[in-house]
Structure 1
Amino acid sequence: MSFLLGALNPIAISFGPFEVRWYGLIIASAVILAVYLSVREGKKRGLKEDYFYDYLLWALPFALIGARLYYVVFEWPYYAAHPSEIYRIWDGGIAIYGCLIAAVIVLLVYTRRHQLSSWLFLDVISPSVLLAQGIGRWGNFMNQEAHGRKTSLEFLQNLHLPHSIVEQMNINGVYYQPTFLYESLWNVLGFIVLLALRHRPKLFKQGEVFFAYVIWYSFGRFFIEGMRTDSLMLGPLRVSQWLSILLFVGSWLWLFHRRYWQPYAPYYLQGHEEE
């Protein structure tokens, strides 16, 4: 991808052939912040700090693999013809949904092994993950990717965006919708909402903070994904839109199920009690 004069350099540090990109630094910073916030909240809920660090060591590699596999599966005709490129993750092609699905699977295995409540663990980390997703979208901004359809300079200026954002949306002389920004703001707002509600007495039962996260994220992602031009397609909708519908509806159904058919499920604020 070529960058016009005025666009930000996606490379943060360069030492000869060695390059460190802003994308990686932003993602790493988002993960560190999410872990820090999760550890703080986990201690209040009776979860040891080491649980989060141990889980992270397992989750990170599998999340990366999941993000790549998700992309490869839905682009299989290409990769079937170019199998040597399947592992070339540095050339692009990862999906956040694949990352999240793999991370949740690892979490279920990890919490079962350590006799922890999967619901409580998910509740603790969900708001922080949503914040990390919001921060991570700025890595897409630096790479001039995950943008929407063509638009005009006047439209972007009417959004009262900083000049740097407007110019970063100028790709090869064409302005594009800053969908990265829309999703980032949506995720950060969701983080604030979940934090404002999570500690209210007898509001959330264990597992319901996680479902609230899924509902919030999938709802916004459905509409924002529809604005993008680089998404994987499946019939009339994009793959992430179909998955967003499934997660949105499924989360509501599961919420009702737990609320009415498991009335004695513990509340979130009860936390974890050592046996």
Structure 2
Amino acid sequence: MAITAAQVKELRDKTSVGMMDAKKALVESDGDLDKAIDLLREKGMAKAAKKGDRIAAEGMTYVAVKGNKAAIIELNSETDFVAGNAEFNDLLKAVANTIVEFSPVDVEAALALEVGEGQTLNDKIIGTTQITGEKITLRRFTVVEKSDTETFGAYSHLAGSISSLVVIEGGSEEVAKDIAMHIAAIAPQYVSDNDVPAEVVAKEKAVQSASEDLAGKPDNIKEKMVEGRIKKFLAEISLLDQAFVKNSDQTVAQFVASNNGSVKSFVRYQVGDGIEKKVTDLAEEVAKQLG
């Protein structure tokens, strides 16, 4: 029977195996999802398959640099305990180094990369899953390139729960690292207020214009107050306008300029951003065990 892309995706979501492995298992099982999972288990992917429906929202971020290329990645596990062990950390670095070397276009392409004789990056991840007993997934990555006149700055905070990667023109490695540290700590969303999309500004303006404390004020006063609040809003989310974390008397823009540099771009990853974590009621779980 013909196997659909939707079936392949469902099996991959449940087992974390590669696309071709999922398709082969579905072909062998005539499209039966449960049989396909059993086939994958028989082929040594049992733990990965059993863990497939769990939420991997813990983990670590990491930055690998190779010449004029750098990669920032997020690798997830189910618990922070596993994220802290040697096997996970070795995998984290291996994944980042592979991605920075080959620059895959997306996660699927990254998982298909060969990292050894007959072994893909996905196989390596599944192997670590089998060792740790927890689902491990490559959630996302960004590959960044720079010119010879530009400098990378990288910083990881709280044992890799947050990482940032910045590119500056001029300056120095020390300056770039200080900016990366600021980005990790303060979490700006854009380099400058010029980068903030018009729709984001419009939405904030609508919210501020509807503020109850502005009701009844003359339009000219109201307009000035809204403009002031928008300016403050932009300063809070724009890196260059933020007070520098190591010296609040100057902005990031002033700090960089004083060191003959300028910020070109940045990426910030925080583990679990946007992942809905499963909340477990311990008392309820214990009651179920005893019931």
The TM-score, its normalising length taken from structure 1, stands at: 0.26
Q: Which structure shows the bigger proportion of residues in strand conformation?
A: 2
Higher percent of residues as helix: 1
**Rg: which structure is higher?**
2
TM-score when normalising by structure 2: 0.25
Report 1 or 2 for greater relative contact order, CA contacts < 8 Å, sequence distance ≥ 6: 1
